[in-house]
Structure 1
Amino acid sequence: MVSDGALQYIPITALAVPNSQTYQPLITTNEIISLPSASTIALLRQEVKGRKKAPKTLAVLADPVFSAKDERIGQKSTGQSMTQNLTTFDQQQLARSAREVDIDFERLRFTRQEAETILSLVSNKEQRKPALDFTASRNLATSPELSQYQIIHFATHGILNSQNPELSGVVLSLFDSNGKPQNGFLRLHDIFNLNLPAELVVLSACQTGLGEEVKGEGLVGLTRGFMYAGSPRVVVSLWSVDDEATSELMKLFYGNMLRKNLKPAAALRAAQIEMSRNQNYAAPYYWAAFTLQGEWR
């Protein structure tokens, strides 16, 4: 499915099945895949044709450190906030973007549980890369090491800056283990410059599926960036997601892929259907934000 204009912001999966007596989300009767533009799928297939799969299974970057007051830094904390003593250009740009979109980088505590559960599904330790706390860093995200993994999972804050799309990105650890500020802003241009031949990139963060609309090309944002970097399929969100519900959804999604061997599109659909039937998470707000974009085969 290729949507146009404002339709790109609508969770099609949550629309009601026509003529149903009670609310039944469309996802229960249809597998729905989104594409940024009609030309994207042909380009993606051409790019990955004949490409060998990466040798390792899963890398997870989750639960970064956003504040020098974080208990993981302990007594070494300098007491600096994210916006204090930012010396690099990218750090300054992150502070600016945060102000413009009015976002506060609070710790996402459920992302740790999410990450640990997902990683446990890969029993061979040589096949998985846990990058939590300080190691969930921009340095790792831009390193050649990540090109060795078939699935790359980011569980952190994302920024959509519609005023200045170039200031959109993924926020990773902003401090090192000594409490010293570091550049943790993986900006959109950084993502376009990555070499990331993964089978799947998952952005378990807020509003990662949005971007700047370009006539004839749809939304150009993080999704397009990771596809340009080499991933034929990306799971992203359309709004600010609930931390706990997202953790539950991702556990189901990865269980369907890694234990039941479902393809990503089918795995996400099954997870969302199960969430929609859970009394605690039945509202579409909890499960319908995430969409798989790109290659569905």
Structure 2
Amino acid sequence: MEAQQSLVLALTAIFFNFFQPTWGCVLNTDPTYVRWKQFGTNVIPFVFYSGDYTAAEQSLILQAMAQIKSDMGGCITWTQYTSPPTGGVNYVMISKAGGVGSQSCFTFPGMINLQQGKGQYMAIQGGVNGCLSNVRQVMRLLMSLLGQRFEHNKPNRDAYVNVNTGIATSVSTNYGVYNIYNPTLVLSNPADFDYNSVTLMDQVTFSNTGTPVVTGKTKAINNVGRLSLKDCQCLSFLYSCSVACQDVYSGGPLPTQFTRLSSTSTGTSTSASTTTTPFKFPFDLGRR
């Protein structure tokens, strides 16, 4: 895994040296986490924590997974298990509290390098501090799980967006939701900002007033639940995908969609339970 991450970091550095003028995403470079590549495939195994979600809530999460898979031409897929997989398969345990009583959504920014089949928690919950109101909100968190970090936390963000923490919920500020990333743990283009990235928050997220906490300085933030061109390009690079990325926002705003009807195609599997406990989020705000 360490050799794999070193190769990814080296290739990423080369990539940004050549394409920096036009590419604007934020990629994880913290060696604690790596991309989800197991047994030669880009597959993210996951389990819904028993009893946490209604059928409608599970459907919304599955739609978000399916949309990323579709926008990436099937290069990145998700496999649902009814119980934790065995045989050293790394996986995600999706629950509302993330195993730690979390008051908000969270995920590790990639697959834990030393997971060794123990699993890792991911919290997806509803409410003003949550991310379960629509497909776009869930997609935003799934992107971080894949290793593409949130655009509004990138080191150069203050040149492109305003962040009004005065109207933000106390939970979001206490959890460091608006903290700028440690530049030694991410790689991003300082001369660009993607206002269409699905990793940006919508206006209701973490707002006490319904007014957006994060707003663009020169352009409006516009994403309704599709990967932007740069989202797709960056994931394509990170996961070695051969996909013709689409610029779905080039023609102007798309209609707002809070749910999306699409086939989930997650490939449900069944396996025996494991006795290990999934990794829980350490709440290290410098790595959030």
One fold, TM greater than 0.5? no
TM-score (normalizing by structure 2) = 0.30
Pair member with larger Rg: 1
TM-score (normalizing by structure 1) = 0.30
Q: Which has the higher helix share?
A: 1
